[in-house]
């Protein structure tokens, strides 16, 4: 999510800090960044950063809240759509791809944390990662269960179809999170649909 602006059209100090932190955490990794680096990038003093956030970890927490919430809203929105299953599958791939391409810094940060065994760190920030993942999987399961019932995908357990679908995006996240802005949407769509055994109409 991009920095919000106030009523006067100006980006708030908090959003300047978050924007600077997203960039630095993605470029250098969370551990290598200091609050002083964030303050310099945001154009303010470290004291101003600490006025908005108690710690560097609190900044990371805010970034993760934003990213996790946006992703869950995206999957729930597709699951709640009306219409044929094939349309919902198209929407799912379109919106998943758009989410990853619109949030490259969040994806790189999360990929770095996960690749470095960051589940413990994420848990220490107050996130129940298994529950976050469970909710997103439940939304995806609804989409794939409907697609299977309409013959739009292979007649496999919807949980297995979810695993195949997520494997593509999570694998790219962990191994090449920096690639997202340059990946062709059409190639991602074709790869995701092939993994779940997509069956065109007719």
Distances 71 to 80, 98, 152 between C-alpha atoms, Å = 14, 11, 24
Contact (CB, 8 A) for 109 and 63: yes
Residue labelled with tokens 């303050």: 39
**Ordered per-residue pLDDT tens for the chain, 202 residues:** 444 444 556 889 999 999 999 999 999 999 899 999 999 999 999 999 999 999 999 999 999 999 999 999 999 999 999 999 999 999 999 999 889 888 888 988 888 887 776 788 888 889 999 999 999 999 999 999 999 999 999 889 999 999 999 888 877 776 776 676 677 888 888 999 999 999 988 6
Q: What is the model's pLDDT at position 1?
A: 40
User: Per the structure block, which two tokens stand in for 4?
Assistant: 């919000």
Closest CA to 200 of 97, 93, 90: 90
Task: Please give the structure tokens belonging to residue 167.
Answer: 């494997």
> Residue 11: helix, strand or coil by DSSP?
strand
Q: Hey, what domains does the chain have and what are their CATH numbers?
A: 1-53 (1.10.10.60), 56-195 (1.10.357.10)
């Amino acid at each position: 999510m991009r920095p919000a602006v106030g009523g006067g059209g100006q980006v708030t100090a908090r959003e300047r800090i978050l924007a600077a932190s997203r960039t630095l955490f993605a470029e250098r990794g969370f551990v290598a960044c200091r609050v002083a680096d964030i303050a310099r990038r945001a154009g303010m003093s470290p004291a101003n950063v600490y006025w908005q956030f108690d710690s560097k970890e609190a900044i990371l927490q805010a970034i993760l809240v934003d990213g996790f919430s946006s992703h869950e809203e995206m999957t729930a929105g597709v699951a709640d759509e009306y219409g044929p299953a094939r349309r919902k599958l198209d929407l799912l791939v379109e919106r998943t791809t758009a989410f990853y391409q619109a949030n490259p810094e969040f994806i790189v940060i999360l990929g770095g944390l996960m690749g470095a065994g960051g589940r413990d760190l994420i848990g220490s920030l107050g996130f129940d990662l298994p529950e976050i993942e469970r909710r997103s999987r439940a939304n995806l399961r609804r989409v794939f269960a409907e697609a299977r019932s309409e013959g739009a995908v292979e007649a496999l357990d919807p949980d297995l179809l979810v695993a195949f679908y997520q494997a593509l995006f999570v694998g790219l996240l962990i191994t090449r999170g920096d690639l997202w802005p340059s990946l062709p949407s059409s190639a991602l769509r074709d790869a995701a649909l092939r993994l779940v055994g997509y069956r065109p109409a007719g």
